[in-house]
Amino acid sequence: MSWRPQYRSSKFRHVYGKAASKDKCYDCVPITRNVHDNHFCAVNPSFIAVVTECAGGGAFLVIPIKQTGKLDPHYPRVCGHKGSVLDIKWNPFNDFVIASCSEDTTVKIWDIPNQLLKRNITTPKKELLGHARRVGLIEWHPTADNILFSSGYDYKIMIWNLDVKDTILSKPVKILDCHRDVVLSMSFNTDGSLLATSCRDRKIRVIDPRAGTVLQEGSYKSHKVNKVLFLGNMKKLFSTGTSCWNNRQIALWDQNDLSVPLLEEDLDGSSGLLFPVYDSDTHMLYVVGKGDGNIRYYEISPEKPYLNYLMEYRSHSPQKGIGMMPKRGLDVAACEIFRFYKLIPTKSLIEPVSMIVPRRSESYQEDIYPLTAAAQPALTAQEWLNGINKGPLLVSLRPGSEDVNSLPQFLEPEPLVKTTDLSQQQEGGGRMQEKQKPRAIEDGRRRLKLEEKLPTNEQTCLSNGFGIFECPPPKTENELLQMYYRQQEEIRRLRELLIQRDVQIKQLELKLRNLCTDTGNY
């Protein structure tokens, strides 16, 4: 029997990482030197926030995403904490609200103004007082609005409802007291009904956060877990940690059986932490090393071997932390499927790294951009607390589709659907039968009325998905080319639309002529 190599086809086999040019980086940023194992950076399509080094108390910077280049040393900060800031996270449904936690045992919620900061922000929108020791982790709920999870060194996870009017909250809606040591990471499944945690006692737990019960608990003697991650709806968990020989290690687990990992693999002998990042749209998993400049990426499959190695992005500049841009902030014209923001404290630099699928076509690549989570909650805080589960609202990233910052894709204007249905019926019908003459005349009149209304409805769909605030005039040749390609794609789409309209008009004229000749014969 001849041996045959098992080739596996994938559209992400040739994904490569591309670091931004110096003028697209953020220079002279005083990045924190805290040794806490966190990302220290949070990104959304409007701002990039980074924990900064300061004397006394804790602070972080909020920089507009378009404001690249050298940062003013006197740039205003968000500085209301009395201890070092340990974690920051943007609200997934509001680009102007950010949460921070600190060594001063508090969690604070901040409102960021739309315009450039002119002075330091010192007064938070809300202050959460519940932990007895420093707070190391915070996570927003992925589908419910204004639900925040915080984890402290008092071994407790607290659930906060921010829908209340009070500015100071001292009583969380729920306290999860099932850990016997410090919680190292938290991760939600897609609809937020389950929470996975890794703990310093080497155990991984899957928790029902509303009931406060541990559904699964497990550890493995040869794998000391650091970070754990839900792999979307695949009912699997991914963890990074160290082996008994202190090698950096990754492991894959069945969500319903944490006794033995499905897969275990040693990576290297470095001492830095590994941050796992999962993209549920493309099923790609990124493993970012702290203290080195490498980003490994894999593709996840539901069957064995589960984890398929793709490539590794290498850089000589070691990263201390990492930020991830949400999908709605990516450049789809350049076939960008993910973007990292590397914190390089040795150079006081934040460097964007884009993961790109090489494609020759200039048009929108629908196969690499499936529907993604919208910036709109699927549930209110009270609905989730009452026990309702719902997946995220989905939206298309296609330029010219519904606005990616607000509504899901399935909410489309009604007349557009009717017109396309009628045009399909019209093309398949051929010549009109004599028995259906009065109905055809009425259909033609309705069709003409719909076509008169159509341009006003289509104006909302031709906005190209970019607002005035998000798309300033191009500054570089690359930006100018991208804008040119977008306009060419829009012109091509409009031409196709005009051709369809011309065909419909000719068909209507032909039918009217047939009607006139038929009535003349009688």
Task: Please choose, from the candidates 281, 368, 358, the residue with its C-alpha nearest in 3D space to the C-alpha of residue 15.
Answer: 358
Strands 106-111 and 168-169: unpaired
Which amino acid belongs to residue 337?
I
Q: Is pLDDT of 401 > 60?
A: yes
Q: Which region among 120-124, 134-138, 384-388, 459-463 has the lowest average model confidence (pLDDT)?
A: 459-463
* pLDDT score, position 511: 83
* pLDDT score, position 458: 38
What's the N-to-C CA distance of the chain in angstroms?
80
Q: How far apart are CA 190 and CA 188, in angstroms?
A: 6
* pLDDT score, position 487: 84
- Mean pLDDT value of segment 173-192: 95
Q: Could you report the per-residue pLDDT of 183-194, keeping only the tens digit for each?
A: 999 999 999 999
Q: How far apart are CA 280 and CA 29, in angstroms?
A: 31
Q: Could you report the per-residue pLDDT of 445-494, keeping only the tens digit for each?
A: 544 444 444 443 333 333 344 443 445 667 677 677 777 777 887 888 88
Peptide bond just before 305 cis, omega within 30 deg: yes
Q: How far is C-alpha 102 from the geometric centre of its chain's CA atoms? A: 25
Task: Please choose, from the candidates 366, 194, 405, the residue with its C-alpha nearest in 3D space to the C-alpha of residue 282.
Answer: 366
* pLDDT score, position 363: 86
Q: Could you report the per-residue pLDDT of 318-352, keeping only the tens digit for each?
A: 999 999 999 999 999 999 999 999 999 999 999 99
Between 372 and 401, where is the model more confident?
372
Contact 290, 345 (CB under 8 A): no
* pLDDT score, position 203: 94
- Percentage with pLDDT > 90 across the chain: 64
Q: Is pLDDT of 434 > 90?
A: no
* pLDDT score, position 6: 55
- Mean pLDDT value of segment 291-299: 93
Q: Which residue has the tokens 């007291």?
A: 177
Average pLDDT in the chain = 84
Question: 305: pLDDT confidence band, cut at 50, 70 and 90?
Answer: confident
- Mean pLDDT value of segment 299-313: 91
The encoded tokens of residue 425 equal 């019926």
Residue 491, helix vs strand vs coil: helix
Beta bridge partners of 229: 238
Q: Could you report the per-residue pLDDT of 14-41, keeping only the tens digit for each?
A: 999 999 999 999 999 999 998 889 999 9
Q: How far apart are CA 231 and CA 451, in angstroms?
A: 46
Between 516 and 148, where is the model more confident?
148
* pLDDT score, position 35: 87
Q: How far apart are CA 209 and CA 195, in angstroms?
A: 6
* pLDDT score, position 479: 72
**Predicted model pTM:** 0.76
Task: Please choose, from the candidates 293, 263, 297, the residue with its C-alpha nearest in 3D space to the C-alpha of residue 282.
Answer: 297
Q: Could you report the per-residue pLDDT of 149-158, keeping only the tens digit for each?
A: 999 999 999 9
* pLDDT score, position 380: 95
DSSP state of 454: H
Question: 437: pLDDT confidence band, cut at 50, 70 and 90?
Answer: very low
Beta bridge partners of 169: 128
Q: How far apart are CA 114 and CA 108, in angstroms?
A: 19
Contact 315, 349 (CB under 8 A): no
Task: Please choose, from the candidates 280, 493, 283, 496, the residue with its C-alpha nearest in 3D space to the C-alpha of residue 398.
Answer: 493
CATH number of 16-373, picked from 2.30.30.60, 3.40.50.720, 3.40.50.2000, 2.130.10.10: 2.130.10.10
* pLDDT score, position 485: 75
* pLDDT score, position 469: 40
* pLDDT score, position 237: 96
Q: What secondary structure, in 3-state letters, does 79-101 show?
A: EEECCCEEEEEECCCCCCEEEEE
- Mean pLDDT value of segment 220-236: 92
Which amino acid belongs to residue 274?
L
Domain boundaries defined on the chain:
16-373
- Percentage with pLDDT > 70 across the chain: 84
* pLDDT score, position 416: 35
Sheet containing strand 106-111, strands side by side: 85-90, 97-102, 106-111, 126-129, 168-169
* pLDDT score, position 440: 43
